[in-house]
Amino acid sequence: MKVICNRGALLEALNITGNVVAARTPKPVLLCVRLAATATELTISATDLEVAIVYRDAQVEVGQVGEIVVPADKMRDIVRECIDDTLTIELVDDMAHVKGQNSFFKIYTQQADAFPPIPGVEGKADFEIQGKQLKLLISQTIFAAAREATRYAFNGILLAVKGKRVSFVGTDGRRLAEARGDLISGGGATEKDGPRAIIPTKALSLIDKLVDDPEEAVSFQVKENQIVVSTPRATLTSTLIEGQFPPYEDVVPKDTDRKVTAATNDLLGAVRQASLLTTDESKGVKMSFSKKGLVLSSSSPGAGEATVNFPCKLEGADIEMGFNPAFVIEALKAAGTDEVTLEMTAPNRPGLIRGGPNFLCVVMPVNLTS
């Protein structure tokens, strides 16, 4: 194999594929990336056996087709520290030769046939989503997914296609975020027969990084235990999370009788102020709604007290609720709209934050001592 590469494009490819290279493994080949040259492009591949990325780099001049498997960190460090616009990579015996204008490196390689095979797209994609829409769906739900591994199905985002619409849902048991969007193509013929899968949050974060052009189409193919996501420059394959995602539709309150509409950024600022004097022991902020507006308050024996008055109009009876301010702040930041509505039923029932017709976040209340 022999290729002349644009150094900047190659570094970008190595940075992205490096995200799935195993940090620790008894298999040395999983610490490597595979560089495979065809007549027209160079593909850079990496896998940890659960998630895999194949990145396509067309900014190359191929002198000889072939493939090499080299340590990911060594190759990335060399490409990052070189200052040349182009680098030549050539396989000589069992060594990868990397040449710049004034530099020359030899790297020991692994056997190419020892690198795990990476499945790709087979046949037609199940559906396509616009890149800008996909990035929004991810940002509006990934923050609500569980971070601990005790409830495995919660460590991912549910993707559910219904007709020509798609829903992303994340929950950790204390809050739930749902975002909905339109498909470019594909999907189910009815509201009940579309693909459904739980995607690991790690894979979803990588998918977000792969979307370069907001107008590009991103294709999805859902298999029995895998999902394959493809953009014009890369393909990601991930093992799906097994298990049952909770019936999230049942969690969304449907009988709310109190409603407040507010400017998103203004409410966000008020919640942030009220949270300044909370501690790990007293994480809650009291939100007292009345016809006079909203009063946010917090107190902690070790920190002090905070009171913030926020003008707003309440539809329905007065109500006082306690929320973890971090959950409210993250929901408001994810809403993506100038205005949000906060809907409530009772102090011991979940609150519902809506940002337009396509985003909602259910937040469980917390008990606060007076």
DSSP for 151-173 reads SGGGGEEEEEEETTEEEEEEE-S
List, for residues 262-295, the tens digit of each pLDDT value: 999 999 999 999 999 887 776 899 999 999 999 9
Count Cβ atoms below 10 Å from residue 348 Cβ, excluding itself: 10
Q: What is the mean pLDDT of the chain?
A: 93
The per-type count for the chain, helices as H runs and strands as E runs, is: 6, 27
Q: What is the band of 120 on the pLDDT scale with cuts at 50, 70, 90?
A: confident
Question: Across-strand partners of 110?
Answer: 69
In this model, does residue 121 exceed pLDDT 90? no
In this model, does residue 147 exceed pLDDT 60? yes
Q: Which single residue is written with the structure tokens 């996909």? A: 134
Q: What is the pLDDT, as a whole number, of residue 192? A: 66
List, for residues 63-99, the tens digit of each pLDDT value: 999 999 999 999 999 999 999 999 999 999 999 999 9
Give all domains of the chain, ordered by start, each with its CATH number.
2-114 (3.10.150.10), 127-249 (3.10.150.10), 252-363 (3.10.150.10)
Q: What is the pLDDT, as a whole number, of residue 281? A: 72
Cβ proximity of 248 and 176 under 8 Å: yes
Q: What is the band of 243 on the pLDDT scale with cuts at 50, 70, 90?
A: confident
How many Å apart are CA 19 and CA 208, to the nearest integer?
Answer: 12
How many Å apart are CA 125 and CA 18, to the nearest integer?
Answer: 26
How many Å apart are CA 327 and CA 361, to the nearest integer?
Answer: 9
Share of the chain above pLDDT 70, in %: 96
The token duo for 36 is 């495979």
In this model, does residue 151 exceed pLDDT 60? no
Q: What is the pLDDT, as a whole number, of residue 148? A: 66
The token duo for 318 is 């007065």
Q: Is the dihedral of CA 9, 120, 156, 169 positive or negative?
A: positive
CB neighbour list of residue 21: distance below 8 Å, 6 or more residues apart: 30, 31, 32, 33, 46, 48, 72, 73
How many Å apart are CA 58 and CA 148, to the nearest integer?
Answer: 40
Mean pLDDT of 100-111: 95
Q: What is the pLDDT, as a whole number, of residue 189? A: 67
How many Å apart are CA 208 and CA 187, to the nearest integer?
Answer: 21
How many Å apart are CA 264 and CA 258, to the nearest integer?
Answer: 18
Q: What is the pLDDT, as a whole number, of residue 42? A: 97
In this model, does residue 24 exceed pLDDT 90? no
How many Å apart are CA 43 and CA 259, to the nearest integer?
Answer: 53
Q: What is the band of 191 on the pLDDT scale with cuts at 50, 70, 90?
A: low
Report in angstroms the alpha-carbon separations of 114 from 74, 313, 332.
Answer: 19, 65, 48
- pTM for the full model? 0.92
List, for residues 155-179, the tens digit of each pLDDT value: 899 999 999 999 999 999 899 999 9
Report helix, strand or coil for 225: coil
List, for residues 126-141, the tens digit of each pLDDT value: 999 999 999 999 999 9
List, for residues 298-322, the tens digit of each pLDDT value: 988 877 999 999 999 999 999 999 9
Q: What is the band of 149 on the pLDDT scale with cuts at 50, 70, 90?
A: low
